[in-house]
Amino acid sequence: MRAIVCQQYGPPEDLVLQELPDPTPGPGTVVVRVRAAAVNFPDVLLIDGKYQLKIPPPFTPGSELAGDVIAVGDGVDMQPGDRVVGTSFVGAFAEQALLPAATVTTIPDGIDYAAAAGFGVTYRTAYHALRSIAQVTQGDWVVVLGAAGGVGLAAVDLAVAMGARVLAAASSPEKLAVCRERGAEATIDYDREDLKTRIREITADGAQAVLDPVGGAYAERALRSLARGGRFVTLGYAAGSIPAIPLNLVMLKGITVQGMEIRTFADDHPAENERDLAELAQLFSEGRVSPYIGARFPLADAGAALRYVADRKAVGKVIIDV
């Protein structure tokens, strides 16, 4: 099979396309013929050795995929030909992937491979953050930073479905136009407008929640715009710098600041995780939410796809067609 390989830590341009042996399933595992894989910002960090967890090279990057089961190991209740979506820390950017059966689920009828591949990580992250951490309710003003990115646009989609009022903040008119198409009630171009002032003007009394997958200079400005008792959820640092928050702001307004990390959420919050996943699956299967796919690349151009994400050009999800 063909696979993208990170032979040593470095930029996306260093990735190579190689022929590797086809995987063989063992007990409790399946082999999936990959049809589509999604690119996430942590993939960029992983290949550069800058993620919180390091995978020693060589390895095949990519954490979420969709395709067809082609082989199953003992104890697996699946059949060759089943259309499935799966997640794995690495291994998705290849023609075949070996996955634990527990990480693989059937794709609902009527949903294509690209949508299925692009749904899992970003939508789970956004829904856990909105539902369980920020505890967003109908009518709340929710500010989404980096709103045109993968997690950001998923948060816009889901917050609208939850009945919240969404204020999307992003870095260009073109990105904000997509956010409005996806249901954002208001938008802010934070490269051209003062973020704190505009949030206060739009929301009148301040926002009830901020979701921040970006970090950098905009985090404190958004935090200052929260209403009394508001919730600030930090999800990542795509801007490249981790913000320092003055704690007196948190004290004076009774703000809650909390982090959410998708790898550990199920272990830290098992009951909420089970509830959230059931609700999210229903929203997806009913067609009430679905990822916006902004760009697609062939497998041989996976490095270009990762560069596209690294340079913050992506709007919604970037898909690799395999």
Question: For residue 218, what are its two tokens?
Answer: 């905009």
Question: For residue 148, what are its two tokens?
Answer: 């045109």
Residue 302 is predicted with a pLDDT of: 98
Domains of the chain listed by start with CATH number: 2-120+291-321 (3.90.180.10), 134-259 (3.40.50.720)
Residue 127 is predicted with a pLDDT of: 97
Residue 178 Cα distances to 121, 129, 313, angstroms? 20, 22, 13
Q: Closest Cα to residue 37, out of 7, 11, 3, 70?
A: 3
Rounded-to-10 torsion of CA 124, 42, 166, 271: 30
Residue 91 is predicted with a pLDDT of: 96
Residue 236 is predicted with a pLDDT of: 85
Residue 238 is predicted with a pLDDT of: 79
Residue 127 Cα distances to 121, 149, 151, angstroms? 10, 15, 10
Q: Any residues with CB less than 8 A from the CB of 193 and at least 6 apart, and which?
A: none
Residue 241 is predicted with a pLDDT of: 81
pLDDT by residue for the chain (322 residues), tens only, comes to 999 999 999 999 999 999 999 999 999 999 999 999 999 988 999 999 998 889 999 999 999 999 999 999 999 999 999 999 999 999 999 999 999 999 999 998 889 999 999 998 899 999 999 999 999 999 999 999 999 999 999 999 999 999 999 999 998 999 999 999 999 999 999 989 999 999 999 999 899 999 999 988 899 999 999 999 999 999 988 777 888 888 998 999 999 999 999 889 999 999 999 999 999 999 998 889 999 999 999 999 999 999 999 988 889 999 999 9
- Taking the C-alpha atoms of residue 180 and residue 187, their distance in angstroms, rounded to an integer, is 7
Residue 223 is predicted with a pLDDT of: 94
Q: What values do phi and psi take at 228, rounded to 5?
A: -55, 130
**pTM of this structure:** 0.87
Read off the pLDDT of residues 11-46 as tens digits, 9 standing for 90 and up: 999 999 999 999 999 999 999 999 999 999 889 999
Residue 269 is predicted with a pLDDT of: 95
Q: Do the Cβ atoms of 128 and 272 come closer than 8 Å?
A: yes
Q: Do the Cβ atoms of 74 and 27 come closer than 8 Å?
A: yes
Residue 211 Cα distances to 143, 175, 254, 258, 273, angstroms? 6, 17, 17, 10, 18
